[in-house]
């Protein structure tokens, strides 16, 4: 027998999940959950909620495999039809599907878009592209950042090409020897989790300028200490924290005045800095070397291609074109 949940239990369950998301992501997720709840209650009654939906799924999973129904997919297909009838845009529908898919994954329930036949194609929107920042734009981005830590994060991502999750995972030990030895630039050797590929990149002059200012405010640094922490704590910074901080800076940037920053979208989100790194090097450094710096898997290129002299010569170009001041 299915349990009828009250609104308070629904909120507690969803809020526990939402706490894991950035504030901008929460806006989209809450909208999708609210629409799903309206749709679901039209089918199963006003006292039901997402907990009721989950119970039905888990009850179905207890049955022998050949007796199980594609209950999740069936409900999601109907939910998408409901959104289509409400004239929601293709991208909104896809965002709502992604929200439900992610929440169900959090609850241990896998759902693939392969079995959702009515999921509309994404609609390309120019305003949703990453902003192509000039050096002057990037200087303003840094100047409008409210803390030394935030300024350091921006320049660090731009000059190293590191992805936001890689920045979060850095420890002081990754730079300690060269940093304490006064070496400039600092070479960072990592293995990218997404690709499993070992790679090297660098912190240049401007990164070190702000990094030294930032680390002066930190005490008791150990090799396993996070390189970047949440403000006022020793806790490792998270991708959602960085996304949120960049989102707070974006409305202050004069060069984004023509953009409409809606639904949590940020044209200068962290990945824009990784893209800027690639753009600044393109045409000045061999494409394979750029991809090596960014941790991409290379095909048909031997390890000998990246000998020491090549790395040094390529890095000299990298430092030259990525210096701010």
Say whether both 145 and 113 belong to one domain: no
Say whether both 56 and 151 belong to one domain: no
Q: Which two tokens stand for residue 249?
A: 């800076």
Residue 172's CATH number: 1.10.443.10
pLDDT of residue 311: 54
Say whether both 110 and 252 belong to one domain: no
Out of 156-160, 227-231, 241-245, the most confident range is 227-231
Residue 95, pLDDT > 80, answer yes
pLDDT of residue 8: 38
CA distances in angstroms from 211 to 2, 166, 236, 306, 312, listed in the order given: 56, 16, 16, 28, 22
Say whether both 204 and 286 belong to one domain: yes
Say whether both 174 and 209 belong to one domain: yes
Q: Structurally, how many domains does the chain consist of? A: 2
pLDDT one-digit tens code per residue, 43-63: 999 989 898 999 999 999 999
pLDDT of residue 279: 83
Q: Which of 98, 125, 152 is the last residue of a domain?
A: 125
Say whether both 97 and 157 belong to one domain: no
* Residue 58 within a domain: yes
Interval 82-89 mean pLDDT = 91
Q: What percent of the chain has pLDDT over 70?
A: 82
DSSP secondary structure letter of residue 145: -
Q: Which of 102, 125, 148 is the last residue of a domain?
A: 125
* Residue 143 within a domain: yes
Place of tokens 């031997």: 302
253 preceded by cis ω (within 30°)? no
Interval 23-49 mean pLDDT = 90
* Residue 130 within a domain: no
Say whether both 291 and 182 belong to one domain: yes
* Residue 106 within a domain: yes
Say whether both 148 and 287 belong to one domain: yes
Residue of 263, 264, 174 lying closest to 211 (CA atoms): 174
* Residue 80 within a domain: yes
* Residue 1 within a domain: no
pLDDT of residue 299: 61
DSSP H helix total and E strand total for the chain: 14, 2
Residue 40, pLDDT > 60, answer yes
- With contact defined as beta carbons under 8 Å apart, do 200 and 187 qualify? yes
Looking at per-residue confidence, does 15 or 58 come out higher? 58
Range of the domain at 108: 7-125
The secondary structure element, H or E, covering residue 179 is helix 176-180
* Residue 104 within a domain: yes
pTM: 0.58
Say whether both 226 and 200 belong to one domain: yes
Looking at per-residue confidence, does 285 or 271 come out higher? 271
- With contact defined as beta carbons under 8 Å apart, do 286 and 298 qualify? no
pLDDT of residue 125: 52
Give the three-class secondary structure for 89: coil
Say whether both 94 and 140 belong to one domain: no
DSSP result, 20-69: TS-HHHHHHHHHHHHHHHHHHHHHH-TT--HHHHHHHHHHHHTS-GGG--
Say whether both 139 and 58 belong to one domain: no
Say whether both 44 and 111 belong to one domain: yes
d(CA 101, CA 93): 12
Q: Which two tokens stand for residue 221?
A: 């640094």
Q: Which of 125, 155, 187 is the last residue of a domain?
A: 125
The CA angle 142-146-152, to the nearest 5 degrees, is 50
* Residue 203 within a domain: yes
- Report the chain's mean pLDDT, rounded to a whole number: 82
């Amino acid at each position: 027998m299915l349990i009828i949940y009250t609104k308070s239990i629904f909120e507690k369950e969803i809020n526990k999940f939402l706490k894991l998301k950035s504030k901008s992501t929460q806006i989209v997720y809450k909208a999708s959950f609210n629409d799903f709840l309206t749709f679901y209650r039209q089918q199963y009654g006003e006292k039901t909620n997402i907990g009721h939906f989950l119970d039905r799924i888990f009850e179905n999973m207890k049955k022998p495999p050949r007796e199980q129904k594609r209950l999740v997919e069936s409900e999601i297909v109907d939910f998408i039809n409901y959104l289509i009838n409400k004239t929601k845009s293709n991208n909104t529908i896809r965002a709502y599907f992604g929200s439900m898919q992610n929440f169900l994954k959090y609850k241990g329930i896998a759902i693939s878009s392969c079995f959702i036949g009515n999921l509309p194609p994404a609609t390309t929107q120019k305003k949703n592209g990453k902003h192509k920042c000039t050096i002057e734009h990037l200087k303003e981005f840094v100047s409008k950042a409210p803390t030394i830590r935030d300024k350091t994060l921006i320049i660090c991502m731009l000059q190293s090409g590191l992805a936001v999750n890689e920045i979060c995972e850095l420890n002081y030990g990754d730079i300690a020897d060269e940093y304490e030895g006064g070496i400039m630039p600092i070479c960072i050797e990592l293995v990218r989790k997404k690709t499993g590929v070992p790679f090297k990149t660098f912190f240049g002059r401007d990164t070190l300028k702000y990094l030294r200012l930032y680390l002066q405010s930190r005490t008791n640094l150990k090799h396993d200490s996070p390189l970047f922490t949440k403000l006022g704590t020793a806790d490792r910074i998270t991708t959602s924290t960085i996304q949120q901080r960049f989102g707070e800076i974006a409305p202050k940037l004069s060069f984004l005045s023509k953009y409409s920053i809606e639904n949590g979208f940020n044209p200068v989100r962290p990945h824009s800095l990784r893209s800027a790194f690639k753009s600044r090097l393109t045409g000045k450094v061999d494409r394979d070397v750029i991809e090596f710096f960014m941790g991409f898997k290379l095909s048909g290129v031997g390890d000998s291609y990246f000998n020491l002299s090549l790395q040094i010569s390529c890095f000299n170009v990298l430092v030259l074109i990525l210096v701010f001041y």
